[in-house]
Structure 1
Amino acid sequence: MLQLNETDFHLPLSEFSFERRFDDRGAIRWMQANWSKSFVFSALYAALVFGGQHYMKPRPKMNLRRPLVLWSLSLALFSIIGAVRTGSYMLHILSSSGFRRSICDQSFYSGPVSKFWAYAFVLSKAPELGDTAFIVLRKQKLLFLHWYHHITVLLYSWYSYKDMVAGGGWFMTMNYAVHALMYSYYAARAGGVRVPRPFAVLITSAQIAQMAMGLTVSGLVYGWMQQGDCPSRLDNITWAALMYLSYLLLFSNFFYQTYLRRHAADAKAHKTE
């Protein structure tokens, strides 16, 4: 197990009582003993998703607008609060100790304010698999990007938290922030609100930027790990780099197919009318 780097600065951030009382060491011990259960969740998820598609094929799609609003809204609120709490911690480290420390310091996993939300983040990747149930039951198109992203994020998050690897603060905070936008958008759409198209473009652009930054952070961790002050493991960095690179390519392709190619096709059709 990697040793925790204790912070040498006073953190002037107010804590809620549940954040202060949270047992981060117990959480880390539990994840070290149980992280492999993420493979069980992933296998069950895949079986239910593809089995569910087969089951729904001869049946009419379900109208799940209200449950979808509640589901998306609850995840939006969770992500917004998580982004605010982890973001405040990361901003403090950036302003007081600099960019390198914000990546390499393991205090994110046990520091005030952030320790609860780090654990809540990795646990949330299991219930978030429920997103796909709405796609299957409403008989919408299921993209490879969707289910691949859900499975790999769950596996990598649980695998990494147990070792408190460097870069986790950036990975989690970025994900919270992007999900705050994404689930707010889903909740609005499910509620019948007409959201301007540029907002959807903004979300996908933020996802692409997140993947590019995740790849950058992985590269920096690898370089600084050689100097002994950026605790991680080569296998973890390799999986992180492969994961973020695949996401970057898939989200970029989604952006092109959805916004650029379709826009060009619509413009061409309009000219021929």
Structure 2
Amino acid sequence: MAPPPGPVYSFLHALPIPSLPYNIEHWVPGSTPISTVAEVTLAMVVYLVVIFGGQALMRGSKPYRFQPLFMLHNFLLSSGSALLLALMLEEIVPIVWKHGLFYAICNTSAWTPRMETYYIFNYYFKYWELFDTVFLVVKKKPLQFLHVFHHTATAVLCYTQLNGRTSVSWVVITLNLFVHVLMYYYYFMTAAGYKIWWKKYLTTLQITQFVIDLFTVYFASYSYFAATYFPNMPSMGSCAGTEGAAIFGCALLTSYLFLFIAFYQKTYKAQAGKNKADAASKAAAKVAKKTN
């Protein structure tokens, strides 16, 4: 049984805004927008054509900044992620409190109607976030493999978990929303001209997120497969969700962890080396000046 609505949900429903259509509140493959393999594939193809075609078109043009639009994009994504995070936490925390963590990540009852709506909104956020890359293209910034792969694959991941109805999804999504609140706030502030010192720690937080994600989804998957196929092995019982969604989620999140670790090492070790070289160069210049 789902917990009663929380204060954030109740506040939003008290506002004079139209009710959501049934196929937005509930995942109905073929009726909910972008809910079929063909639609998801088409969306990803359009994304790749737009960004790589845009790069080709921009070769002979000067970069465009679209600063106010870029700031609005990041502000809305940061605040929207915070709102969705609050809605999800007020729904799932009472379930954890009443029934325990294993129930919350593995029982079918943890996939409540309201959580399903939040999962759908989070899924659509992934398509909104594709405009991150469009801004990079018009600014003539390089497109890293990690950026393009992460944006496309995460939309597909959310699609597979909605189809698979994996109750453990909230762990991955709430952590991701928390990171995105900070990440898009960082981009908003830097676009406004502020120097933010904690970018390196934001990447560390992303890596930590994937470590927690993997521990949780591997545990849930092990428990399901052990209870289903190897009843003599120790487990806490079966876990909600399809096998395909579980395997795909584990594989993709594992790739994210290694890719972000590689990005961290490449970015910040190179920066540390550059800082040391700059410091040595300045020290040598001071010695030469004194000598002269």
Matches within 5 A, 1:1-273: 6-7=1-2, 10-11=3-4, 13-14=6-7, 15-16=9-10, 23=22, 27-30=26-29, 34-36=35-37, 37-112=39-114, 114-196=115-197, 199-226=198-225, 227=227, 229-273=238-282
Identity of aligned residues (%): 21
More contact order relative to length (CA 8 Å, sep ≥ 6): 1
Structure 1 47/80 Cα, relative in aligned 2: closer, same or farther at 3 Å?
same
The whole-number CA distance in structure 2 between the counterparts of 1:148 and 1:19 is 36
Tell me the CA shift for residue 201 of structure 1. 1.7
Q: What are structure 1's unaligned runs of at least 5 residues? A: 1-5
What amino acid does structure 1 have at the position aligned with 2:95? I
8 A contact 1:167–1:218 mirrored in 2 = yes
- Matched-pair contact (CA < 8 Å) for 1:29–1:162: no
Q: TM-score of the superposition, structure 1-length normalised?
A: 0.87
Residue 61 of structure 1, CA deviation? 0.5
SS in structure 1 of the partner of residue 68 of structure 2: helix
Query: Quick one: distance in 2 between partners of 1:218 and 1:176?
Result: 17
Query: Quick one: distance in 1 between partners of 2:254 and 2:178?
Result: 20
**Shift in alpha-carbon separation, 1:206–1:31, aligned structure 2, 3 A:** farther
Q: Distance in 2 between matches of 1:104 and 1:25?
A: 24
Q: How much does 1:103 deviate?
A: 1.2
Deviation at 1:224, TM superposition (A): 1.7
Q: Shift in Å at residue 107 of structure 1?
A: 4.1
1:194–1:265 CA distance, 2 compared to 1 (3 A): closer
Task: Indicate the residue corresponding to 1:3 in structure 2.
Answer: none
Matched AA of 1:46: L
Compared with structure 1, are the counterparts of its residues 31 and 97 closer, same or farther at alpha carbon in structure 2 (3 Å cutoff)? farther
How many Å separate the matches in 2 of 1:107 and 1:272?
A: 63
Gaps of at least 5 residues in structure 2 are: 228-236, 283-292
TM superposition shift of 1:97: 2.0
**1:109, 1:213 → 2: CA distance?**
20
**Does the aligned pair in 2 maintain the 1:19–1:115 contact within 8 Å?**
no
Cα contact 2:166–2:246 (8 A) shared by 1: no
Structure-2 change in CA distance of 1:154 and 1:58 (3 Å): same
Q: Deviations over 1:10-58 (max 9, x none)?
A: 4473332766965479621146873321111001000111111011011
Distance 2:270 2:100 in 1: 41
TM-score, normalised with respect to structure 2: 0.82
Code of the residue aligned with 1:138 in structure 2: it is K
1:88–1:18 distance in 2 versus 1, CA, 3 Å: closer
- Work out whether residues 24 and 110 of structure 1, in 8 Å CA contact, stay in contact via their aligned partners in 2: no
The range that moved more, 235-244 or 16-25, is 16-25
Residue in structure 1 matched with residue 231 of structure 2 by the alignment:
none
Would the aligned equivalents of 2:23 and 2:31 in 1 still touch at CA under 8 Å?
Answer: no
Task: Compute the displacement of 1:96 (Å).
Answer: 2.3
Q: Provide the secondary structure at the position in 2 that maps to 1:29.
A: coil
Distance apart, 1:213 and its partner CA:
1.7
User: Matched residue of 2:140: which SS?
Assistant: coil
Contact 2:103 2:110 in 1 (8 A): no
Shift of 1:88: 2.8
1:120 CA drift (Å): 0.7
AA aligned opposite 1:131: D
**How many residues matched?**
263
Tell me how far apart the structure 1 counterparts of residues 82 and 205 of structure 2 sit (CA, whole Å): 15
